Amino acid sequence: MPAQPLDGITVVALEQAVAAPYATRQLADLGARVIKVERPGRGDFARDYDRAVKGASAYFVWTNRGKESVVLDIKEDADRAVLDALLGRADVFVHNLAPGAVERLGLGARTLRALHPRLITCAISGYGDSGPYRDKKAYDLLIQCETGLLSITGSPEEPARPGISIADIAGGMYAYSGILTALYERERTGEGTDLSVSLLDALGEWMGHPYFTQEYGGTPLARSGARHPSISPYGAYACGDGAQVFLSVQSDREWVALCEQVLRRPELVRDPRFADNPLRRAHDEKLTAELEECFAGHTAEGLIALLDGAGIANARLRDVAGFAAHPQLAARERWGDFDSPVGPLRGLLPPVEVAGRRAPMRPVPELGEHTEAVRAEFM
């Protein structure tokens, strides 16, 4: 297999759950050696979140491909010596222990970098390492609540949790990009650095549009189900065959094309209710009625063909099985096989494609699978 971008980089991860494992899996996908330190007994508690993947946890399979699992009781002298030896040869140390825990273990960033100046440390927490929420437990849904995401997600009648662990993903991706940045900086300075990422800050950054809308527009975004709260038309519209088609108009030029080429209602272009996007959004219910009256004469497939012909963005509402069978992914060969303790599995290739190289798609580790080999190598 061709060399990977992060070949030769060693990451030691004292991690559990989703955010930190998701960050380090991205590094593993780029060729880094990720040594995952797990507690004796059950290991990372995400191993027990579910049994959806042939008896294994879907969360764990998703976030831990390509790593080595080493079981250590780091409060015991012999196992702590193994961890210290690992850190002495590591490039990156990632953890998502509770704030203050690594310091009590003698693994704080200041202590480690005094010993290993080239080491990059990355701490992932819920609320950061200071402030009144420092020690508050933080799980994905709770961070969604604290950032205001749930207040703008769902139907007008009721908030709803997004269907994925979006706070953990946000935190993991900022940790990943921060580590890549620190590795690049180390090439110039020869020095490591200390990184910290809080889930509140990470998901809060993604709340930029709602924040600026309310802070300077004076009106909070309303929960609008599958409709866009600021753009119209943008959402699901019923067709004559009972199916729905999602479409989006992002500019006045596209609005003209929709009216003239799809709706065959050029007079709507000049309708004062729909003259620009803010007006269309203000009259969204009336605009929806106009659109669905026109769409009633079309099947979903026929309407999609018209929208495509007019250059109007559109989509079918697929379920997860429909996504797994997506013709675009199949045509681009975006699926790969990898091994696991429960047998061969199939998963998406990493989103970043490196020209001329295919992601390694290395196995998901069994708990403690690499403990003895790592002990022999590092001690």
Tokens standing for 365? 């580790």
CB 25 within 8 A of CB 66: yes
CB 122 within 8 A of CB 183: no
Beta-bridged to residue 164, according to DSSP, are: none
Catalytic choice (116, 228, 283, 370): 228
Cα angle vertex 46, ends 44, 49, to 5°?
145
CB 237 within 8 A of CB 245: yes
Sign of CA dihedral 316, 319, 325, 330: positive
332 Cβ contact list (under 8 Å, min separation 6):
none
Give the C-alpha separation, 238 to 215, whole Å. 35
Helix H or strand E encompassing 377: helix 371-378
Nearest to 280 by CA among 220, 288, 78: 288
Sheet of strand 92-95, all strands in order from the earlier edge strand to the far edge: 67-71, 33-38, 10-14, 92-95, 120-125, 194-198
Is 116 in the active site?
A: no
Tokens standing for 344? 């061969």
CB 195 within 8 A of CB 120: yes
Does the N-terminal peptide bond of residue 233 adopt cis geometry, omega within 30 degrees of 0? yes
DSSP of 37-64: EE-TTT-SGGGGS--TBTTB-HHHHHH-
Known catalytic residues are: 228
